[in-house]
Amino acid sequence: MTPSSVFLPALYVRLAVARVRGQMRYRVGFLLMILGVFVANAFEFVALLVLFGQVKVLGGWSAHEVALLWGMSQMSFAIAEAFGRGFEGLAPQVRSGEFDQVLVRPLPVFFQVFASAFEAHRIGRFLQGATAVWYARSDPASIPWQASHWTTLIFAVTTGAVIFFATFVLGGAWALRVVDGQELMNTFTYGGTTLASYPLELFSDPIRRAATWILPLAFVNYFPALALLGRVGPPGMLPFGLTPIILAMSAPVVAMTYLGVAVVVWDRSVMRYQGTGT
Amino acid sequence: MRVYAELARRAWQRQRAYGNANLAGLFTNSFFGYIRVVPLMAAFASRPDISGYDRDVAITWNWLAQSLITIVALWGWWDVALTIRSGEVAIDLARPIHYLGYWLARDVGRAAYSTVYRFIPILAVGQLVSGLRWPEAPWLTWPAFMCSLILALFTSFAWRFLLNLGAFWLTDYRAIASLGLVATTFLSGFLVPLAFFPPAIRSILEALPFAAIIQTPATVFLERADGMDLALLLAQQLGWAVVMLGIAHWGAQVATRRVTVQGG
Amino acid sequence: MIAVEELRKAFRVTTRRTGGFSAIRALLPGATSYVEAVRNVSFTINGGEMVAVLGPNGAGKSTTIKMLTGILVPDAGTATILGLVPWQSRRAVAKRIGVVFGQRTQLWWDLPLSDSLDLVRHMYGVPTQRFAENLATCRELLELDPFLDRPVRQLSLGQRMRGDLAAALIHDPEILFLDEPTIGLDLVVKARIRDALRHLNETRGVTVLLTTHDLADVARLCQRVLLIDHGRVVHDGGLEALRTRFGSGCTLVVDLADPSTPGQAPSAKGDETDQRNDGPMVVPGAIEIRAEGNRHWLAFDRREVSASDLIAAVASRYPLSDLTLEEPDIETVIASLYASRTE
């Protein structure tokens, strides 16, 4: 008996559609979830604007410039959350033994966890990020954007999403090893977006290095935003003295490398789980 | 009274079981405290004074807000709603004790644990990272702050309890209630001090019960009010605590009558 | 079909430290130890067999099943499922086996059961025609029709269990692994599930390996029982053989003619007169475990004293009006086996 082979991308779409359909059964709840996610992040943004109501610049950055950082970080994170929630919600499944179900199916473990949770309501956060970018663009002092700027933005947001997604994968790998380590991972995922929402140059040296070389948050939005805003960045602070444009262009390479590392760590963690059963 | 003390003690012990999660939470709080304090310090680089807050006051406010939130639990406290959803509420109601008191006692136990294992360590981290402004009149400020903290807990408890009761009527209560809590982080002065808002909005926000949850204890600790102002501030907070607990009590009665009549 | 040889698995357990900041203290050395969940398990199961794995909680049943389904990798020993090593060829094995964990569901909580089954079909790449046939079989066998279009979250436990079983059958598995498939179900649903399993075994030759605590499952379905205890197979054979082997404890129920006599052995030391006449009966080789009026229950071990010797001994000491010999039922045998574990 040889069952016909399974085409994974089609299966992903099928599972994602099924999940959204399941959520849509409670239409009001679904819309409220989108609204909730939007408003929750909007509050943080408004709080930032309140601060900017008092000071005109923050470490040399205007409200509009910080809004661009903020919006890019939120949009990237929203996409990563929508696709990577399966890895984030793994800890309780490992604890309850539900994760074992994944191991008795004839599909790659990574794929199954990836496909187990597509969360459409994260669009609420995406829209909030887009609003922040729109606000950033309303700055009369900014240079007019050409098509190339918009391309850069879309490219950067996608790259940033890959970086956050890889962080979720690492978080899932962590959950397979340490049963109650969920909250620690939140520091890197949610803490990461918050950190990336402010100009990186404000933070102390060790944090800045960690956010460039360990969890490459700087490549999510900081370098691309410097390039988009035509800022040169603080003197001596950019790695190897490279210009923001070159750093922004190297972001996809960094993101893919980081994702590759995350997938390897994930596979090793699954193997370890099979060896120890946590 | 004994039974409530016992309930509080049990709640404390229950928190102890999540020792690792608490430690991770402490790390998270400290990290967020750091992320938020940095832009705040940058803001004071260009201006020495914002709405009467100087740099040290603002930094201390930041760490206070981070640590206070662990006591007043503005993030995800759905214990009551979970018992309503699971039907366990029937057992709780059958107990020969006051329903609201039952939950308040448990929350006090939880908050006491958070005070020792979260509030104090986070302030210690703040002291290490950026230095804190400690009360200049400790004999007045510390007792006043203790009172304010307890009243803040009562107010926040009543508000969370009410949001949890939503589970009696709404299947989608979670989305709405989460929104309620998130709004509270904003309205209470957790995200940004209420003093930084434009004056008109500020006076409205300060009059709402949510200010009693974060802004008031922070104001007391930072000695932003003294003499008659301090007394009035605490009186207002007491007023809100009483009113909110009263509403929560009334809400519980309406809700539980519904359970006893309709069987949940 | 299934061949297991000297399978071993030990778990590292961290002694839970509770209290404040336990995480820091847990980093200190000396907090871990090893528990041997499976010490030495060997058995072979042929195609078409239905085998029950019995054993008290924590005996190593689940760990064994997890190794056979490719979830866990053993420390030592070998196992082949359909000629494949499950932890080496996890996906190839998964395609050909069906697994149901009674306490968990593999169905999609928010979706109708029919949608869940359709998704499972796509995960296993089951051809449309085959799926239609299998679904029809499941609908009839498990009576799915009344709730096929209802979201899984609204299903009763029995309905959900039938749905889960259907999900495990969609891809024509050659072997079914069932971990407590009837736990918490009512008698009617249990019977329905047993009938379905027996039908699948008879018509399609599906091999079934199930763990259970319900001996009725075993009696109705399985010719063969693997009793696992302390990580070892302590019995491999029929249920009846299990009783003859371990059920040596019997009970002699005695009705005395004269209610005033127990508590004293009248003939042995004649001049000793015991004033208490409500004490237990004293017979060598037996212990009184219960008394009610003039009826007494005497427990004895058949390996130590034969029933006829005991009856003779009782008759020589006490005036009897009636007696019956009670053999242990299988539940009692298993229960005493499980209980002896804690001692």
Range A204-232 burial, b when 16+ CB lie within 10 A, else e: eeebbeebbeebbbbbbbbbbbbbbbeee
What helix, strand, coil percent values describe chain A, rounded to 5?
A: 75, 0, 20
Distance of CA A7 to the CA centre of its chain: 27
Does residue B259 surpass a pLDDT of 90? no
Residue C217 near residue C190, CB atoms below 8 Å: yes
Task: Give CA–CA dist C275/C22, Å, rounded.
Answer: 63
Task: Say if residue C146 is in the same domain as residue C111.
Answer: yes
- Global confidence as pTM: 0.87
C161 is a domain residue: yes
Q: Which residue of B has its CA nearest to A45?
A: B191
CB within 8 Å of C81: residues ≥ 6 apart: C1, C2, C68, C93, C96, C97, C175
CB within 8 Å: B20 and C26: yes
**C101 contacts chain A (CB < 8 A):** yes
Interface mutation vs chain A, best among C21, C106, C120, most A CBs within 10 Å: C106
CB within 8 Å: A40 and B179: yes
**Which amino acid, C316?**
S
- How distant is the Cα of A95 from the closest Cα of chain B, in angstroms? 14
Q: Minimal CA–CA distance to C87: which of A278, A96, A277?
A: A277
pLDDT confidence of residue C278 = 59
Q: How confident is the model at residue A142 (pLDDT cuts 50, 70, 90)?
A: confident
CATH number reported for the structural domain that contains residue C321 in this entry: 3.30.70
Task: Give CA–CA dist C289/C298, Å, rounded.
Answer: 6
**A268 contacts chain C (CB < 8 A):** no
Task: Say if residue C54 is in the same domain as residue C91.
Answer: yes
Q: Which residue of A has its CA nearest to C93?
A: A106
CB count in 10 Å sphere of residue C149:
11
| Higher pLDDT among residues B77 and C275, named by residue | B77
CB within 8 Å of B101: residues ≥ 6 apart: B4
Task: Give CA–CA dist B98/B84, Å, rounded.
Answer: 16
Over residues C128-147, the mean pLDDT reads: 94
Per the structure, how many domains does chain C have? 2
The tokens for A149 are 């700027």
Does residue C19 surpass a pLDDT of 70? no
Instruction: Spell out which chain C residues touch chain B, with contact meaning CB-CB distance below 8 angstroms.
Output: 17-24, 26
Give the up-direction half-sphere exposure of residue A137: CA atoms within 13 A in the CB hemisphere: 14
Give the up-direction half-sphere exposure of residue B163: CA atoms within 13 A in the CB hemisphere: 24
% chain A with pLDDT above 90? 64
Does residue C266 surpass a pLDDT of 60? no
- How distant is the Cα of A274 from the closest Cα of chain C, in angstroms? 4
Phi-psi region of A99 (alpha: psi -120 to 50; beta: other; left: phi over 0): alpha
Task: Say if residue C78 is in the same domain as residue C198.
Answer: yes
Angle at which helix A182-196 crosses helix A147-177, to 10 degrees, equals: 160
Task: Give CA–CA dist C192/A124, Å, rounded.
Answer: 47
Question: How confident is the model over B133-184, as pLDDT tens digits?
Answer: 999 999 999 999 999 999 999 999 999 999 998 888 877 677 778 888 888 9
Range of the structural domain that residue C312 is part of = 248-269+276-327
Q: How confident is the model at residue C267 (pLDDT cuts 50, 70, 90)?
A: very low
CB within 8 Å of A83: residues ≥ 6 apart: A114, A118, A161, A165
CB within 8 Å: B196 and A54: yes
CB within 8 Å: B116 and C24: no
pLDDT confidence of residue C321 = 86
Task: Give CA–CA dist C224/C238, Å, rounded.
Answer: 5
CB within 8 Å: C21 and B19: yes
Task: Say if residue C36 is in the same domain as residue C160.
Answer: yes
Residues from chain B that touch C17, judged by Cβ atoms under 8 A, are 19
pLDDT confidence of residue C35 = 85
Query: What is the pLDDT of chain B when averaged over all its residues?
Result: 90
Over residues C307-317, the mean pLDDT reads: 86
Q: How confident is the model at residue C91 (pLDDT cuts 50, 70, 90)?
A: very high
Task: Say if residue C17 is in the same domain as residue C41.
Answer: yes
Task: Give CA–CA dist A108/A183, Å, rounded.
Answer: 27
Tokens 């790449």 locate to C125
Task: Give CA–CA dist B35/A147, Å, rounded.
Answer: 34
Tokens 């490219």 locate to A155
Interface mutation vs chain A, best among B18, B29, B31, B85, most A CBs within 10 Å: B31
Task: Say if residue C59 is in the same domain as residue C175.
Answer: yes
Task: Give CA–CA dist A104/A239, Å, rounded.
Answer: 46
Q: How many CB pairs under 8 A join A and B?
A: 103
A184-193, C198-207, C244-253, C257-266: segment of lowest average pLDDT? C257-266
**C151 contacts chain A (CB < 8 A):** yes
- How does DSSP classify residue B118? I
CB within 8 Å of C213: residues ≥ 6 apart: C54, C180, C183
Q: How confident is the model at residue A237 (pLDDT cuts 50, 70, 90)?
A: confident
Question: How confident is the model over A176-197, as pLDDT tens digits?
Answer: 988 767 778 888 899 999 999 9
C335 is a domain residue: no
**C71 contacts chain A (CB < 8 A):** yes
CB-count burial class (<10 Å; 0-12, 13-18, 19+) for C207: buried
Residue B48 near residue B15, CB atoms below 8 Å: no
Residue C178 near residue C222, CB atoms below 8 Å: no
Q: Minimal CA–CA distance to B65: which of B224, B157, B193?
A: B193
Task: Say if residue C167 is in the same domain as residue C219.
Answer: yes
C340 is a domain residue: no
Q: Minimal CA–CA distance to B176: which of A19, C153, A89, A31?
A: A31
- How distant is the Cα of C146 from the closest Cα of chain B, in angstroms? 25
Task: Say if residue C259 is in the same domain as residue C239.
Answer: no
* Integer CA distances (angstroms), B260 to A131, A275, B81, B161, B247, in order: 48, 51, 17, 19, 20
CATH number reported for the structural domain that contains residue C56 in this entry: 3.40.50.300
The SS3 assignment for A31 reads helix
pLDDT confidence of residue B228 = 92
Report ipTM for this prediction: 0.88
Task: Say if residue C53 is in the same domain as residue C95.
Answer: yes
Interface mutation vs chain C, best among A8, A15, A23, A104, most C CBs within 10 Å: A104
The SS3 assignment for B98 reads coil
C342 is a domain residue: no
**A95 contacts chain C (CB < 8 A):** no
Over residues B87-108, the mean pLDDT reads: 87
**Which amino acid, B150?**
I
Task: Say if residue C13 is in the same domain as residue C73.
Answer: yes
- With residue C235 as reference, give the H or E element that holds it: strand C232-237
% chain B with pLDDT above 70? 97
Does residue A32 surpass a pLDDT of 90? no
Question: How confident is the model over C189-233, as pLDDT tens digits?
Answer: 999 999 999 999 999 999 999 998 888 888 889 989 999 988 889
Residue C55 near residue C227, CB atoms below 8 Å: yes
Query: What is the pLDDT of chain A when averaged over all its residues?
Result: 90
CB within 8 Å: C119 and A15: yes
CB within 8 Å: C104 and A96: yes
Residues from chain B that touch C20, judged by Cβ atoms under 8 A, are 16, 19, 22, 116-117
Q: Minimal CA–CA distance to A152: which of A179, A133, A135?
A: A133
The tokens for A211 are 């956010």
C28 is a domain residue: yes
What counts of helices (H) and strands (E) characterise chain B?
12, 2
Over residues A33-38, the mean pLDDT reads: 87
Q: Minimal CA–CA distance to A163: which of A251, A74, A69?
A: A251
CB within 8 Å: B179 and A184: no
Q: Is the dihedral of CA C240, C244, C248, C251 positive or negative?
A: positive
Domain positions in chain A = 8-276
